[in-house]
Amino acid sequence: MKQLFILFAAIILIVLQSCCNTDKAFIEDNVQFAEQQLNNAVNAIEKDGKFPRSIKKDRTVGFVGAYDWTSGFFPGSLWYLYELSGNEQWKQEAQRTTHWLEKIQHFTGNHDIGFMLSCSYGNGFRLTNNPDYQTILINGAESLSTRYDSITKVIRSWDFKGGTKDGHVWQYPVIIDNMMNLELLFLASDFSGNEKYRNIAIQHANTTIKNHFRDDFSTYHVVDYDTISGAIRGRYTHQGLSHESSWARGQAWGLYGYTMCARETGDASFLQQAEHIADYIMHHPNLPADKVPLWDYHAKDTTFYPTWIEKLPPLTEAWRDASAATITCAALFDLSQLSETKGADYYQFAERLLHNLSQHYRSTSNKYFVLEHSVGNLPSNSEVDVPINYADYYYLEALVKFKNLTSSK
Ligand code: GLY
């Protein structure tokens, strides 16, 4: 009997060991590939202050300056490479490119400062404890908080005059993406002890739960508020197929945003919201077998085609959005640790997705980005089926989370 038990224990140990080795090899292979691609990207930078964003139609790298909403993702990816590889070269490159964003700390022109600073300086602080980074993050949170309004009870996303393709002109547009910027506010309250930032984040998240979601927990892209009464003027899309369709990246931003709010506050209503959004994504009938969504969950569903269809590029291809998949993947690894009832399902889904992205979405047509097949803004015919820096950023974040979770098993 005792011998049988020893044999059984030995078999379990061998199986566990071989799983561990497989995970380790999987992570190492992907890190190596990412190092190769991002090394080429770093070498392609010709001018300080210019961040690789995507591949342009002429197949060259498209660069952006510090004020572009995607500017923080490239330094952030370099911080993740440093974390994944331990290689000091990545730390130096991450520091160098992060410092190019110092000048935006007082920028109040839109809500994106949360993305720009949390991904760059936020990761930088997490990995180095550099106190100067803390000051910049607090200043950034102060800038972001100037966009909060006590009547609408949300942070305004955009200032540019604009509206929808069917003629609605917005007054106070708030997009679901804005949930991502709240992380900067939580960080700043932790650093400064000033609860103002945290309170704004919580209020924004509560208002967004109330106003942004449909009964099935899919999210609208844009909610427009009346600046005098705070009432909702309408719910719309900007980057999705139509007002009532589900733009894939929007669902992913919502999932990530509420998972992060649940982690930061321990509030059960945020956790429940994240679980509902996760369930919407994971069980959507239009989700392809490899779990990488179409750019819009209704891209192939003609009943969702909008009145302005003639203004859209041809919808013959149902493009995937790998960026939505990477954001979902990173969020689900976190949610798997927060959700008592469904944690195992979320983990399994995220692990499968990470493998699928690594196997089928790695760049083959360019040497500067890790993944391809993302969609930036299809209705504007911009960045359709391209590599894009935020897909790489959240992919590397998912790899970090997967690595931490497998090594703690
Ligand atoms: N926040 C812009 C986007 O997701 O495209």
Best CA proximity match to 329, nearest among 276, 404, 283, 398: 398
pLDDT value of residue 346: 98
pLDDT value of residue 371: 98
Is the whole-model pTM more than 0.85? Answer: yes
The answer to whether the CB of 53 is under 6 A from ligand 1 is no
Nearest atom in ligand 1 to 376's CA: 5
Residue whose CB lies within 8 A of the most ligand 1 atoms, among 54, 69, 178, 181, for a mutation test: 69
Residue whose CB lies within 8 A of the most ligand 1 atoms, among 247, 249, 255, 326, for a mutation test: 249
Q: Ligand 1 centre from 221 Cα, in Å?
A: 10
Three-state secondary structure readout of 283-337: CCCCCCCCCCCECECCCCCHHHCCCCHHHCCCCCCCCECHHHHHHHHHHHHHHHH
The answer to whether the CB of 177 is under 6 A from ligand 1 is yes
The answer to whether the CB of 142 is under 6 A from ligand 1 is no
Q: Ligand 1 centre from 241 Cα, in Å?
A: 14
- In whole angstroms, what is the distance from residue 70 CA to residue 115 CA? 8
Beta strands in 10-120 (DSSP E): 51-55, 61-64
pLDDT value of residue 13: 55
Nearest atom in ligand 1 to 250's CA: 4
Domain that includes residue 29, residue range = 2-407
Q: Ligand 1 centre from 171 Cα, in Å?
A: 19
pLDDT tens-digit map of 330-351: 999 999 999 999 999 999 999 9
Q: What's the helix, strand, coil split of the chain in %, to 5?
A: 55, 10, 30
- In whole angstroms, what is the distance from residue 290 CA to residue 324 CA? 13
Segment-wise mean pLDDT, segments of 10 residues, the chain, 409 residues = 62 60 95 98 97 96 98 99 98 98 98 98 98 98 98 97 94 98 98 98 98 98 98 98 98 99 98 98 98 98 95 90 99 98 98 98 97 97 97 99 91
- In whole angstroms, what is the distance from residue 38 CA to residue 74 CA? 9
Q: For residue 282, give the 3-state DSSP assignment.
A: helix
pLDDT value of residue 409: 67
Span between the terminal Cα atoms of the chain, in Å: 28
The answer to whether the CB of 249 is under 6 A from ligand 1 is yes
Own/partner contacts of 301-306, CB < 8 Å, gap of 24 or more, are 301/245, 304/241, 304/242, 304/244, 304/245, 305/241, 305/242, 306/165, 306/166, 306/241, 306/242, 306/243
Nearest atom in ligand 1 to 249's CA: 4
Residue type for 17, please?
A: Q
Catalytic site residues? 112, 177
Residue type for 305, please?
A: Y
Cβ neighbour number for residue 109 with a 10 Å cutoff: 13
Domain count for the chain: 1
- In whole angstroms, what is the distance from residue 174 CA to residue 237 CA? 11
Q: Count the alpha carbons within 13 Å of 251 in the hemisphere toward its beta carbon.
A: 35
Best CA proximity match to 116, nearest among 165, 81, 153, 64: 64
How far apart, in Å, are the Cα atoms of 213 and each of 38, 152, 287?
Answer: 37, 17, 19
pLDDT value of residue 408: 76
Nearest atom in ligand 1 to 253's CA: 4
CATH number for 177: 1.50.10.10
**Ligand 1, atom 5, residue with closest C-alpha:** 376
Q: Ligand 1 centre from 157 Cα, in Å?
A: 11
Nearest atom in ligand 1 to 390's CA: 4
Q: Which residue has the tokens 């013959």?
A: 316
Element (H, E) at 75: helix 73-85
256, 179 in Cβ contact below 8 A? yes
Q: Ligand 1 centre from 222 Cα, in Å?
A: 12
Q: Which residue has the tokens 């302005």?
A: 308
The answer to whether the CB of 50 is under 6 A from ligand 1 is no
Best CA proximity match to 270, nearest among 205, 210, 177: 205
Q: Ligand 1 centre from 112 Cα, in Å?
A: 9
- In whole angstroms, what is the distance from residue 399 CA to residue 30 CA? 8
